Amino acid sequence: MHCFESGDTLIYADNAATTKISDNALKQMLPFLQKQYGNPSSQYSLGVKAKRAIEEARQRVSMALGALPSEIIFTSGGSESNSWVLSSVTNGHVITSSIEHHSVLNACHALEHKGIEVTYLPVDSKGRVSLDRLKEAIRSETKLVSIMLANNEIGTIQPIAKIGEYLHERNILFHTDAVQAVGHIPVHVKQLSVDFLTASSHKFNGAKGTGILYKRNGVLLPPLIFGGAQEEGTRAGTENVAGIVAAGYAINESVANMTAMADKLLVMIQKTISGIRSKIPNFIVNGDENNRLPGIVNIVFDGVAGDSLMHLLDLKGICVSTSSACVSGKDQPSHVLMALGLTEQQAKSAIRISYGRYNNLDEVETIVANICHAYDKIIAAKKY
């Protein structure tokens, strides 16, 4: 059945794109859309209750990240958090990596338009940033370094704690985009020595439209949005109370189940790879197999376009993603995969499978069988 025609038969294996909200997070947020709809800035009880719910969520999020509640700012999403931090740089030099999310890369391009120099660090074939290359890139005028904690396409985890320690000793501000990591692997802001950290609720079974920005106390960050005194005057705009409440419960659940979930996801990834290997000899697994997010695998299939495979799987009710983007009928290779040193053809032949809380081993078998079937069919059709 078609992906969008039948929810019952849908197999969703694109959890790096977004996740289904958990039952409990949904249950906890719903009252704040109707019965408890007060504005948190209002002084009467309805508003006070809404404000209290936000502060409880802030407490939950701060506990999960090893931060203080006063260091947590709620935003509209990961892109706002990333853009806010990057756009705060007004002069000097910024360092980032070549495989960041576009919300970081495009913010850096905007800085360059303002005359601020940006260094884009290369990565190795597994997608790892080198601390030595970072050290070489640092200048006396370097104001900010922004390196993602884990990559959204290949799952490679960066040595953030080592980078943070080095930068902290030199008083250089350090931001990490942890959107893919929070809720999936242990993230402790003090252990990472970061000044800023970005997270997004819908990546850990919360609701869309709720971002998190950790800002270390004492670090200055001018407002991005002007208006009222919400979020202690740092981020104006009436709060997304329901989404924030969901974020608090979702992050609690994710952290509480993290170890067991990681074990389950690793088994699913291993079975996916071994299952495909038993039928298809020629494929490449991208990323760092020894230091990767537990639920993500990025695979290059020789001779088959990633988007062809993705759409054929979609017709079978299976949602995975391709790294390339179709622009005017021509697929553009992923900047991440190109940075690994893949050829353009290889980069266009990749799909990403990302498992989450609601996937199971039966679904893995179905996915593997359908990938192998679609691959064989495409290869055979191309021979005519």
Partner 1 sequence: MKQIEYVNCFSCGKKQLSKDEVALNKKMIGREIKQFYCLKCFAEYFDVTTEELLIKIQEFKEQGCALF
- CA–CA gap between residue 365 and residue 368 (Å, rounded): 5
172 or 378: CB nearest partner 1: 378
Of 74, 81, 343, 294, nearest in space to 186 by CA: 294
User: For residue 241, what are its two tokens?
Assistant: 């109370």
Tell me the β-bridge partners of 174.
Answer: 145
User: For residue 139, what are its two tokens?
Assistant: 């200048």
Contact 293, 179 (CB under 8 A): no
- Per CB under 8 A, contacts with partner 1 among 359-378 are 374, 377-378
294 or 306: CB nearest partner 1: 306
User: For residue 281, what are its two tokens?
Assistant: 């000899």
Of 3, 108, 319, 326, the catalytic one is 326
305 binds partner 1 (CB under 8 A): yes
- Per CB under 8 A, contacts with partner 1 among 199-238 are none
271 or 373: CB nearest partner 1: 373
107 or 347: CB nearest partner 1: 347
CB atoms under 10 Å from CB of 44, counted, come to 9
Of 186, 187, 183, nearest in space to 357 by CA: 183
80 binds partner 1 (CB under 8 A): no
Binder among 5, 23, 141, 263 for partner 1 (CB under 8 A): 5
Contact 262, 294 (CB under 8 A): yes
- Per CB under 8 A, contacts with partner 1 among 324-353 are 326, 328-330
What is the residue whose two structure tokens read 């990633």? 306
Query: Shortest Cβ distance from residue 380 to partner 1 (Å)?
Result: 9
Of 20, 321, 12, nearest in space to 152 by CA: 321
Query: Shortest Cβ distance from residue 379 to partner 1 (Å)?
Result: 10
48 or 326: CB nearest partner 1: 326
- Which range of residues in 66-74, 101-109, 115-123, 307-315 is near partner 1 by CB under 8 A? 307-315
25 or 374: CB nearest partner 1: 374
Contact 194, 216 (CB under 8 A): yes
2 binds partner 1 (CB under 8 A): yes
What are the backbone dihedrals phi and psi of residue 362, each rounded to the nearest 5 degrees, phi first? -60, -40
Burial class (CB in 10 A: 0-12, 13-18, 19+), 180: buried
Contact 184, 258 (CB under 8 A): yes
Query: Shortest Cβ distance from residue 24 to partner 1 (Å)?
Result: 33
Query: Shortest Cβ distance from residue 2 to partner 1 (Å)?
Result: 5
Pair type for strands 318-319 and 11-12? parallel
What is the residue whose two structure tokens read 């692997």? 185
- CA–CA gap between residue 346 and residue 258 (Å, rounded): 33
- Which range of residues in 59-67, 174-182, 285-293, 311-319 is near partner 1 by CB under 8 A? 311-319
Query: Shortest Cβ distance from residue 85 to partner 1 (Å)?
Result: 32
312 binds partner 1 (CB under 8 A): yes
- Per CB under 8 A, contacts with partner 1 among 146-205 are none
Query: Shortest Cβ distance from residue 5 to partner 1 (Å)?
Result: 7
Active site residue 372: no
Query: Shortest Cβ distance from residue 329 to partner 1 (Å)?
Result: 3
User: For residue 34, what are its two tokens?
Assistant: 């109707």
Query: Shortest Cβ distance from residue 279 to partner 1 (Å)?
Result: 17
Which contiguous run of DSSP H or E holds residue 357?
none
Binder among 124, 314, 332, 372 for partner 1 (CB under 8 A): 314
Tell me the β-bridge partners of 93.
Answer: 117, 142
384 binds partner 1 (CB under 8 A): yes
Tell me the β-bridge partners of 73.
Answer: 213
Binder among 307, 324, 339, 375 for partner 1 (CB under 8 A): 307
1 or 48: CB nearest partner 1: 1
Task: Tell which phi-psi region holds residue 25, choosing left (phi > 0), alpha (psi between -120 and 50) or beta.
Answer: alpha
Binder among 90, 315, 341, 376 for partner 1 (CB under 8 A): 315
Q: Which residues bind partner 1 (CB under 8 A)?
A: 1-2, 4-5, 304-305, 307-308, 311-312, 314-316, 326, 328-330, 374, 377-378, 381-382, 384
- Residues marked as catalytic: 326
